[in-house]
Structure 1
Amino acid sequence: MNARIALARTMLLLAVATGGSIDLHLSAATSFDPTLVAKGAELAAIGNCVTCHTSRDGRAFAGGLPLTTPFGTIYSTNITPDLDTGIGRWTETDFLRAMREGVDRAGQHLYPAFPYDHFTRVRDEDVAAIYAFIMTREAVRAEVPANRLKFPAGLRPAIALWKALYLRTGVYQPDPSKDPRWNRG
């Protein structure tokens, strides 16, 4: 017991001495069930996540792919578990919110170049599996260029208008008149 107290005091002292900047982030790779990760790998492949989240000659899922639109260029985000440039600090709830509502961890609207409007009814357990897979990939420190969008498309609050017009949220409800295979899709 004394050793635990001494360790806690040492960690507290180090945190205070460094301005609280010690990150005690445990490796996500050790905290997810391998079966869940495998299911997430399959779902991420079906969703083709790597295609948009990997730039030409870039590392898998590290983002930076330019997506040219009539409104300007959007760069795909780094979805590796890197703590500074990726989504390594995101909780599963943060990830679910991005997938379902198109809102990032900081509460900013995401551009619909990320097709969250197609993921709004993905089952919770499937989103959890995708999250487990993504969080067990190699963390890649990769800054993504800033988006270059024309006014007013560059204003994230303007996306709220797009969402009001086009985003249909909701939780998937199986059709009880159909068999489980049909409901699964």
Structure 2
Amino acid sequence: MQRIKFCITNPRIRSIASRLATRLSFAQCYLYHFEHSSMSCARAKFHFAHPRSGFTLFELIVTISIIAIIAVMAAPSFASMYSKQKLESSAREIAIKISEARAQAVTLRSTTGMCLSSLSEASCITALGITDPNKNKVFVAHLEKGITVDSRSETHLIFRNNGSIAAASNFILLRNGLSYCIAVGLTGDTRIREGACT
């Protein structure tokens, strides 16, 4: 701000003008410091509002520890879920092959059969007692890896030319302490349930 000089001869007026000029100088100084202090405060607020991102070593260790604990606690549940998925998949495979064998028996008006993949091809043919030169009378249900067959379970089925079986049968699949039952009725109908056959 430029200072404007006046030629004042009256001493009283000159004194008043001098005091006004002094106060104006103080006001300018105060305004200058206020502006600069406000800028400093604004910069401080900006830094406070935008803290540095990232993890400290302690925070990282704590986070990893929590994740490890959760993983250990959840592992049994995941293992059980995985086993159930494998059992259900194998059970559905058996039900599908039973349905195909039954439909083929009705279509061909001939005896057909179904075996679990736990039986070798030779054992399957022997158990069924079916001659199958055209490879269209014997069906094999492939089990998922890790699936075993209970000793009380059937391993094969024989369908008569009308699509029925001689007696109701059960297939029992096992994996990691869990079991699935595939119950087959006289007409070849199937029911899948988790747990033991009743």
TM (norm. structure 2) is 0.17
Q: Which one has the bigger helix percentage?
A: 2
> Which structure: greater strand fraction?
2
Kindly name which structure, 1 or 2, has the bigger radius of gyration based on alpha carbons. Answer: 2
**TM-score between both structures, scaled by the size of structure 1:** 0.18
